Structure 1
Amino acid sequence: MKRLQKLILIIVLMLLVHSTRSQSFTNPILSGFYPDPSICRVENDYYIVNSSFAYYPGLPIFHSTDLLNWQQIGYALNRPEQLNLDGAGISRGLFAPTIRYHDGLFYILCTLIDKGGNFIVTAKDPKGPWSNPTWLPEVKGIDPSIDFIGDKAYIVYNSDPPENKSLYDGHRTIRMYAFDYKNLKVIGEEKLLINGGTDISKKPIWIEGPHLYKVGDYYYLMCAEGGTGYNHSEVIFRTKSLDEPFVSYQNNPILTQRNLDTARKNPITTTGHADLVQATDGKWWAVFLGCRPYLGDFYNTGRETFMAPVEWKDGWPIINPGFAEVKYAYPIDAAVKRSAQKFSGNYFFKDDFNSSALNDRYSFLRTVRDKWYDVETRPGALLLTLQPQTCSGKENPSMVCFRQSHIKGYAATAIKFTAANENEKAGLMVFQSENYFYFICQSVENGKPVVQLLKGNGKNTSATKPEVIASALLYNKPGKEIYFKIEAKGDGYSFYYALKKNDWRLLKENEDGRFLSTKWAGGFVGSMYAMYATSNGAATTSKVSYNWFECRSEDDVYKK
């Protein structure tokens, strides 16, 4: 009996030893438009929240138990009364959230640009429900962070220069309030922590994205600096008392890619806006935004969430120690299992719309107040009601978005639709912003059914409608299923349609992908594939049925 018990104990110990093993995670850990990451740990669980700008629901939340396998568990702002995005430009809306946990409650602090400023929401369960926002009018600025140190809380944020007088373009400050987290209000007087940045004599720009930590004997203030573009960086300050000035680390920045060879293979750029977390094994990690460009500084996938190890050296945290370049993979001790849905590396996503609710990975453009989409009436189909609103306006169009999370790959769908007139269009779009998109769709020309490819106006403000850059007559019966595919290859996009599955016909090849880049379109977002339908301002009762949607990534850097 004792021998049997001993054997069982040995087997249990062996299982525990082998339940985790050293493997690698893939950067970005959240690929596609997932910028401004903030992370917190609660015992054995990790949570990340990201900016979402004018997309709804707002502030996607991710969960992991091992920093390798991430799953989206919902959104912090998923009710219209929580989030008003009406009239917001694509790169306005929600900026730079911070997520923290204290004494049984989760907190997210964020900025709603143009609509009310800084606010805080809370939840007992990060899956929700989250509270309605409590507004913080005293906190004037952006990128607020709530940080708990012992039983005290502080809010740090980007704000105006002293006396609102800029010494140079990009002159900003970091300021702080003590915070009564039980009553959700600031305490006492605002305090100026950083003026300008690491060295104001060198005119540092856009000190922002601050987080406050207490590690050992020091308070650390970590911030982004240099602007959220190619010169982006992360810098660190410390002090032994919040009543004393913060001192800049002499070897700042602790993270940047701006000094590297621009011609290097598979570059990662614009790194910064970081947050730190200590894992259950005592190791430290940083999550931060970065970009994967092509042809120099063009990128369509937006700012993504990366992760790298952190090493403490002489009392200072160093991100990505021992390497100049941020790597596409780092070793980590994690569970052998893999997530049901992948958010990194090359993956295949397929949705047959058999669930009674849309997958959380989808987003809408601005707040949804009238439910124009339906996955319940007809299992196996997503039904969209054509609305007069278009993607070029500042309202909520009939548009279901999925992030383009790869430089190379494709998105495809199948629809059943009969356009009543030339105003009605339904199909598949790749969308960067209101005037920067390509849209392959079914419509009508001269009374006959056609496939069209439309291109956004770009900077041509005199144009009233998107330009039709390609079209082809359809000879299938009205209402018969038609297939669309958009294929991305870095700086080129190709557009296909089919009347039979996989019998693809090329409508337009190698259309300029730079048109969809942040460099051309501006703003802070990334491209979205979208199932989109519109009546272009006309009243209608038309609907379109999307019978499936799929997206495959095929980036070379992840191929083995």
Structure 2
Amino acid sequence: MTDQPVIAGFFPDPSICRVGDTYYLVNSSFEYLPGVPVHTSTDLVNWTQIGNALTRPEQVAEHDGYGSAGIFAPTIRHHEGTFWIIGTNVNDIPLGRGHFLIHAQDPAGPWSDPIYVPEAIGIDPDIVWNESGTAYVTWCSLNPAEPGIRSAPVDTTTGTLLAPAQQLWSGTGLSFPEGPHLYRIDGWWYLLLAEGGTERGHAVTIARARKIEGPYEAAPSNPILSHRSLPHPVQNTGHADLVQLADGNWAAVHLGVRPRGQTPGFHVNGRETFLVGVDWADGWPVVDDSRYTASSIDRTFEDRFDDALLNPRWLGVGRYPTSFTRPSPEAGLLVETEAGQGRALLCSRATDNVWTATTSFTADKGSGRFLLRLDDRHWYGLTYDGATVTAAVTIGPFEHTIGTWTPANGTAPVLRISAQTAQVLPHGVSLEPDLIELAASDTDGEHVFGAFDGRYLSTEVAGGFTGRVFGVEALTGEIHLHSVTYTPTHTVSDTTEPAA
């Protein structure tokens, strides 16, 4: 395996399908809206985001944006000319809705309103069709009375189960068997799982049966993929999905992280999407982690918000950006503090190890903030109220003001956040994964507030399933956003193609 992802940044729980010579991939999006990013590729290595599947309140209602809630582990499949996505909105579980099922003719959208599967309560659903065309939904049960991986035929027009659910397999005995995917291959039904938890013990296991209902026998070489206890720069490997290539060969996408800093290591950009080759031996898949090499892509962008539609990279926290932004008649974007659920933060994923992001906005009718966020309790940011720039860091319950600075009169400052290389101690160890520098500049020069430990914006400290995002929010009134730029300091070997 390359040590670089094919889709870098907070793009976890990948699921993939192929139509002809083109591949389509979706990921979890958790509290961020629009949800379920959709990427496409023709070579499995270079990917372009073509949209998001959940783009309107009829599909997912705006919500309070609780960290790492929202949309879990969707699966994408293509069947008889139609694309299908099945996923879980964990905010809906208390409402008894079960998994949601949407479909589209074009994976770029629009996608349909959801059909719910209320009898299937759990996470990480999969959908597959048997030889007679009956759809089966398979999921990780959250019902203690019915544990393990369960499956049942389903009516895709109503969400009604057509027979009682049956338990298929509980995995190899590792913790948290989840992320099931079923495949019909050479007369066998194969059930692929994630086990061991999505931390350092993460692993991919597989079993097979002659009938979809089982019984399932485990592969003798399980786990077929794991980096647990190995000195590999990519860790937490798991939650895979198989795909057959047009030439008959096989591959798999899976999630992983790139931890840095002193033990236990800190991953900051989230769980990312990686790619491996797959061979078959004695009827079982064998992972070839050296088959693919991620190509070099520069993900630099500058957005001046000249288009009527926002680029699909832009997200809100439990809110759709269209609910709190609108084009300005004078170019740029107006960002408002209009009341509503969630957090009206216009944000995008950080995708590189070392990078710089800047923004410029005027605050004649309010105040705004430029920040780097892991969740609402872990962020570093710069606030501008039309007169003064204030730097602050928030770590858990503590919000600390670093300092203030006044730009030249009449000048809207450029605010800068940079993820920089960590300090290396004399014995060659970096304590932190990186340093986050906060700065602001005007026509007279730049004021640097300082560089702060990146560990506190990592999952190992804050918990959860997401990664860093950076963005702009209005704190009071309305701000006029002129631009946001993102520039990797060093182009790394990954392959997320920047959107135009």
Same fold (TM over 0.5): yes
Residue 330, structure 1, aligned to residue 292, structure 2? yes
* Corresponding residue to 1:152 among 120, 130, 134: 134
Distance in 2 between residues matched to 1:249 and 1:194, nearest whole Å: 12
Q: Letter of the aligned partner of 1:534 in structure 2?
A: L
Does structure 1 retain, via aligned residues, the 8 Å contact 2:139–2:151?
Answer: yes
Q: Letter of the aligned partner of 2:153 in structure 1?
A: A
3-state DSSP of counterpart to 2:164:
strand
Question: Any residues of structure 2 matched to 1:224-263 within 5 Å, and which?
Answer: 224-261=194-231
* Corresponding residue to 1:174 among 143, 149, 152: 149
Distance in 2 between residues matched to 1:147 and 1:241, nearest whole Å: 13
Q: Report the alpha carbon displacement of residue 432 of structure 1 after superposing the two structures with TM.
A: 0.4
* Corresponding residue to 2:438 among 495, 501, 504: 495
Higher relative contact order (CA 8 A, sep 6+): 2
Q: Report the alpha carbon displacement of residue 345 of structure 1 after superposing the two structures with TM.
A: 4.5
Q: Report the alpha carbon displacement of residue 459 of structure 1 after superposing the two structures with TM.
A: 2.9
* Corresponding residue to 1:127 among 102, 108, 133: 108
Residue 524, structure 1, aligned to residue 465, structure 2? yes
Q: List alignment gaps of at least 5 residues for structure 1.
A: 1-23, 165-171, 333-337, 339-343, 390-394, 536-541
3-state DSSP of counterpart to 2:162:
strand
Question: Any residues of structure 2 matched to 1:83-102 within 5 Å, and which?
Answer: 83-102=60-79
3-state DSSP of counterpart to 1:515:
helix
* Corresponding residue to 2:372 among 430, 444, 453: 430
Q: Letter of the aligned partner of 1:34 in structure 2?
A: F
| Farther off after superposition, 96-105 or 153-162 | 153-162
Provide TM-score, normalisation by structure 1: 0.80
Where does residue 285 of structure 2 map in the other structure?
317
CA offsets per residue over residues 28-76 of structure 1, 9 Å max, x none? 1111111111101111221111111111011111112232332211111
Q: Report the alpha carbon displacement of residue 238 of structure 1 after superposing the two structures with TM.
A: 0.6
Percent identity reads 35
Q: List alignment gaps of at least 5 residues for structure 2.
A: 421-432, 495-500
3-state DSSP of counterpart to 1:67:
coil
Q: Report the alpha carbon displacement of residue 346 of structure 1 after superposing the two structures with TM.
A: 4.2
Distance in 2 between residues matched to 1:49 and 1:234, nearest whole Å: 19
Does structure 2 retain, via aligned residues, the 8 Å contact 1:37–1:49?
Answer: yes
* Corresponding residue to 1:212 among 182, 186, 211: 182
Q: Report the alpha carbon displacement of residue 555 of structure 1 after superposing the two structures with TM.
A: 4.9
Question: Any residues of structure 2 matched to 1:406-445 within 5 Å, and which?
Answer: 406-418=352-364, 425-443=367-385
| Farther off after superposition, 101-110 or 543-552 | 543-552
Distance in 1 between residues matched to 2:339 and 2:125, nearest whole Å: 37
3-state DSSP of counterpart to 1:520:
helix
Judged with a 3 Å threshold, the aligned counterparts in structure 2 of structure 1 residues 56 and 99 are, in CA distance, closer, same or farther, namely: same
| Farther off after superposition, 297-306 or 424-433 | 424-433
Judged with a 3 Å threshold, the aligned counterparts in structure 2 of structure 1 residues 256 and 555 are, in CA distance, closer, same or farther, namely: farther
CA offsets per residue over residues 453-496 of structure 1, 9 Å max, x none? 1222x332xx6xx331222233322xx32101111024211111
CA offsets per residue over residues 137-189 of structure 1, 9 Å max, x none? 1112110100123323211110146635xxxxxxx510110123355432111
Distance in 2 between residues matched to 1:188 and 1:242, nearest whole Å: 13
Where does residue 168 of structure 1 map in the other structure?
none
Distance in 2 between residues matched to 1:125 and 1:304, nearest whole Å: 25
Q: Report the alpha carbon displacement of residue 500 of structure 1 after superposing the two structures with TM.
A: 2.8
Does structure 1 retain, via aligned residues, the 8 Å contact 2:256–2:274?
Answer: yes
Does structure 2 retain, via aligned residues, the 8 Å contact 1:476–1:499?
Answer: no
Question: Any residues of structure 2 matched to 1:450-529 within 5 Å, and which?
Answer: 450-456=388-394, 458-460=395-397, 466-477=399-410, 480-489=411-420, 490-500=433-443, 503-508=445-450, 510-529=451-470
3-state DSSP of counterpart to 2:452:
strand
Judged with a 3 Å threshold, the aligned counterparts in structure 2 of structure 1 residues 354 and 191 are, in CA distance, closer, same or farther, namely: same
3-state DSSP of counterpart to 2:163:
strand
Residue 350, structure 1, aligned to residue 302, structure 2? yes
Does structure 1 retain, via aligned residues, the 8 Å contact 2:367–2:478?
Answer: no
3-state DSSP of counterpart to 1:330:
coil
Question: Any residues of structure 2 matched to 1:343-422 within 5 Å, and which?
Answer: 345-368=297-320, 371-375=323-327, 377-379=329-331, 381-387=332-338, 395-418=341-364
CA offsets per residue over residues 308-347 of structure 1, 9 Å max, x none? 111112111122x2x5xxx6x8259xxxxx9xxxxx7443
Does structure 2 retain, via aligned residues, the 8 Å contact 1:415–1:427?
Answer: no
Distance in 1 between residues matched to 2:396 and 2:144, nearest whole Å: 36
**Pairwise CA RMSD of aligned residues?**
2.4
Distance in 1 between residues matched to 2:409 and 2:414, nearest whole Å: 12
Report how many aligned residue pairs link the two structures: 475
Distance in 1 between residues matched to 2:66 and 2:180, nearest whole Å: 25
Q: Letter of the aligned partner of 1:276 in structure 2?
A: L
Judged with a 3 Å threshold, the aligned counterparts in structure 2 of structure 1 residues 278 and 376 are, in CA distance, closer, same or farther, namely: farther
Q: Report the alpha carbon displacement of residue 512 of structure 1 after superposing the two structures with TM.
A: 1.1
* Corresponding residue to 2:20 among 43, 50, 61: 43
Q: Report the alpha carbon displacement of residue 221 of structure 1 after superposing the two structures with TM.
A: 0.2
Distance in 1 between residues matched to 2:91 and 2:5, nearest whole Å: 30
CA offsets per residue over residues 339-389 of structure 1, 9 Å max, x none? xxxxx744311112221211111111113397321235233x122124467
Where does residue 31 of structure 2 map in the other structure?
54
Q: Letter of the aligned partner of 1:483 in structure 2?
A: V
Judged with a 3 Å threshold, the aligned counterparts in structure 2 of structure 1 residues 85 and 543 are, in CA distance, closer, same or farther, namely: closer
3-state DSSP of counterpart to 1:71:
strand
Distance in 1 between residues matched to 2:344 and 2:125, nearest whole Å: 32
Distance in 2 between residues matched to 1:39 and 1:367, nearest whole Å: 27
CA offsets per residue over residues 192-226 of structure 1, 9 Å max, x none? 1113x21x4xxx21000000001112110000000
